[in-house]
Structure 1
Amino acid sequence: MLHGARISLVVATIALLSGFVTGTALGVVSGYAGGWLDEIVTRLVDIWQALPFLMVALVCVLIFGQSTTLLLALMAALAWNPFVRVIRSQTLTIKNNAYVDLARVAGCSTTRILIRHILPGVINTAVVIATLSVGSLILAEAALSFLGAGVPAPDATWGSMVFSEGRGYISTAWWPTVLPGLAIFLVVLSLNFTGDWLRDRLDPRLQQIA
């Protein structure tokens, strides 16, 4: 189970980092730029949300074959979407603040405004979204392993242990299925609690007075 945790958590972490960077960048740029660029990014998000992810994953496996690289690409494609809409909406609010207008009047470049004035205002929200997204990524990896689109054998992951390897022996040996499933449950639950705690600590409107 500990050996399977290595691959499951590494896949989720790499996918989350790529989604964090891509989704935050797209949200900040589209929210600040507006116009046709914002329209294109928004429509891309709508199109991706309308696509059935599991069907896309199965088609990709049929075309390219099962591999860890393909799994990472699919997970990264799943991870960027939750960031864009929230970061974009916050950017639309922040860019109208007085200090951003003053930076624009002072002659700051667009890149400097995005990095020094817009990004610090949205990074806390992006971190919270990231902590809440890890659980869904681990569950997505487990679902892909169940459908045969996950990490190829003989490498062990929590998803393959629960759905592919252990379910055939659950009537005689329950632990190969129950223990990895319990590990997935505890990790997802703890990360959701961490995301809620970070939201309360980082959002001034939700700070709790001890």
Structure 2
Amino acid sequence: MKKTGIIGIVLVVLLVIIIAAGVGTYNSLQKLDETTNSQWAQVENQLQRRYDLIPNLVETVKGYAAFEQETLTAVVEARNKFATATTVGEVSEADSELTAAMRQLSVVVEAYPDLKANQTFQDLMTQLEGTENRIAVARMDYNDSVEILNRKIRTFPTSIIAGLIGIEKREYFEAAEGSEEVPEVDFGK
């Protein structure tokens, strides 16, 4: 009887340890999932800030550079693509296109000294520059959070619990292919 009692106690202790480990892993995964969701919300928040600044910038540039319609159209189209993006990949691609269009707009602006001297334009560019920095930080924070979550759910036994509760590997926020290339601007049009 003593042997069975000791075996029973050992089994109960092991069961309690397994349950406690499972609960700890579950809670850890939930925290990482929420942190990743929060980091993504910050990326979207900063992208939305940039999205909201662009119409004012485009209108200011229009007054000075009316014949640069192609560049302005590219900015507006890239902004619209961002508005319809739903997945991390789509947002990443739209962000890359918008970044390229904004770079092209910056190149065009160099040809207009009066525009560069305009206080409204300067204020908008300062806000946009600050927003671009915030976007870069938010992207980095999101990707760091994704790395931690993905690493955690790929390890055993956490992978089993993650599968049971439906927490899946997340997609990194990556620049779209070709976004590292400098846009070409032809002033000879």
Q: 1 or 2 for the larger relative contact order (CA 8 Å, sep ≥6)? A: 2
TM-score between the two structures when normalised by the length of structure 2: 0.31
TM-score between the two structures when normalised by the length of structure 1: 0.28
